[in-house]
A = this chain, B = another copy of it.
Amino acid sequence: MAVVPAPSGSMLLAADAVVAGVHCDLDLVGLDDMGWKAMVANVSDVAAVGGRPCYAVVTVCGPLAQLDFDLLYDGLVGASDAYECPIVGGDLSSSATLVVSVAVVGDGGSGVPPPVLRSGARPGDTLFVTGPLGSSAAGLELLRSGQTADAPDLVLSHRRPRARLDEGTAARAAGATAMIDVSDGLASDLRHLADASGVGVVLDRVPIAIGVGRVSDDPEATALGGGEDYELLFAAPDPTRIETAFAERGLGTPLRIGRCTDDPAERRLRDGDLPVVGWEHR
């Protein structure tokens, strides 16, 4: 039990679990990577509303006798330090399956605009992502084929994804109406945003991360369907204002990828249907 100061603004609450063998193949990545990912998945949820993380609590359930908990905690604490989100409590239990569950409390701030939900996009809004996609999926493919030396940067994208906190704050400040992190894949997460907002969406382009073309037979499908890039996808009515805000903060230019339409059933990629690819929650 931790006793800590409450956030000064509205409170954000995220919770996400990483299950060995489901979200994380421990034959390919380390326990430290699993811990890192469990923390970052939650911090990214906070980033996706334009908030800041404050505290985390962690429950680890696993085969206690066999498990290298120091390694797991290295990853948890590494991400906790990187995102200034101290782990203030938790619980450790025996379980046949390793499950790392993290809950993060964030500060939503008290000013205007409020935290950005996924439900506020409006027809006419421009769609952005904060960076090109597919790195994590390509990195996983390299790990599976044992060719990690070919592109260590892609492998690192998979093992140590980053949460886009500054980008989320910038998008919120510059009028983003809806935002989500690309954890399930661009196609899936765009659907989530469109469904929640009740708008149609047209993707004009799919930005593909460098190197994905050397790994994947179908780089666009990898970028559309590969999850866990944790780039932010957002909608905003004034794209120039967004680009200016990112530039003023020294952040990479966010990428215009499409727009929202007034036909709530529309899910389009260029001239065709937006494919159904990506992570399905099982």
Residues of chain A having any CB pair with chain B under 8 Å: 1-17, 19, 21-23, 45-46, 48-49, 55, 57-59, 61, 64, 88-97, 99, 101, 103, 105, 108, 114-115, 117, 281-282
Do A2 and B12 touch across chains, with their CB atoms under 8 A apart? yes
Chain B residue nearest to A65 (CB atoms) is B282
Do B45 and A1 touch across chains, with their CB atoms under 8 A apart? yes
Most chain B CB inside 10 Å of its own CB: which residue of A13, A45, A46, A281? A13
Instruction: Give the secondary structure class of A's interface.
Output: strand
Do B99 and A15 touch across chains, with their CB atoms under 8 A apart? no
Do B281 and A15 touch across chains, with their CB atoms under 8 A apart? no
Determine how close the nearest CB of chain B comes to the CB of A168; give it in whole angstroms. 11
Rounded to whole angstroms, the CA-CA distance of A6 and B94 in the bound complex is: 33
Identify 29 residue pairs between A and B in the complex whose beta-carbon atoms are under 8 Å apart, listed by A's number. A1-B13, A1-B14, A1-B46, A1-B49, A2-B14, A3-B10, A3-B12, A3-B108, A3-B115, A3-B117, A4-B10, A6-B9, A6-B11, A14-B57, A15-B58, A16-B59, A17-B99, A21-B96, A22-B94, A22-B95, A23-B93, A61-B97, A95-B99, A96-B96, A96-B97, A99-B99, A99-B101, A101-B101, A105-B105
